[in-house]
Structure 1
Amino acid sequence: MMMTPFEDRLYAILFYVLAAAVVAGVGIWVLRLSRKAKRDKNRGG
């Protein structure tokens, strides 16, 4: 299965966008979790 340079570039861009979205999503999720844990700890005492 041969790929043209254009297709190759398109798939590379798609892959990078997907990877960036996953990294951003995980980062936001971790930040939210750590913030929540801190707040719970403060409430406890």
Structure 2
Amino acid sequence: MRLIITTQVSTRANFRAKLCVARQKHGNQTFSDSVELLREDRNR
């Protein structure tokens, strides 16, 4: 049971870190839908 909880905490921490990076990178941009986000990601 402890391993599952540790994995969940780690997964959430990774998600939050990725979200923080994305907000810093794209914070001032407005995207109307996910197609624009995919296009931006592909063009990097």
TM-score, normalised to structure 1's length? Answer: 0.58
The secondary structure found in structure 1 opposite 2:27 is helix
Distance 2:12 2:27 in 1: 22
1:27 is aligned with what amino acid?
Answer: L
Give structure 1 regions of 4+ aligned residues with deviation exceeding 3 angstroms. Answer: none
* Aligned-pair identity (%): 10
Q: Between the two structures, name the one with larger relative contact order (CA 8 Å, sep ≥ 6).
A: 2
Equivalent-residue separation in structure 1 for 2:15 and 2:22 (angstroms): 11
Question: Larger Cα Rg: Structure 1 or Structure 2?
Answer: 1
Structure with more of its chain in helix, by fraction: 1
Question: Which 5+ residue runs of structure 2 have no aligned equivalent?
Answer: 30-44
Taking the TM superposition and a 5 Å limit, the aligned residue runs for 1:1-45 are 9-35=1-27, 38=29
In the alignment, structure 1 segments of 5+ residues that lack a partner are 1-8, 39-45
Say how many residue pairs are matched: 29
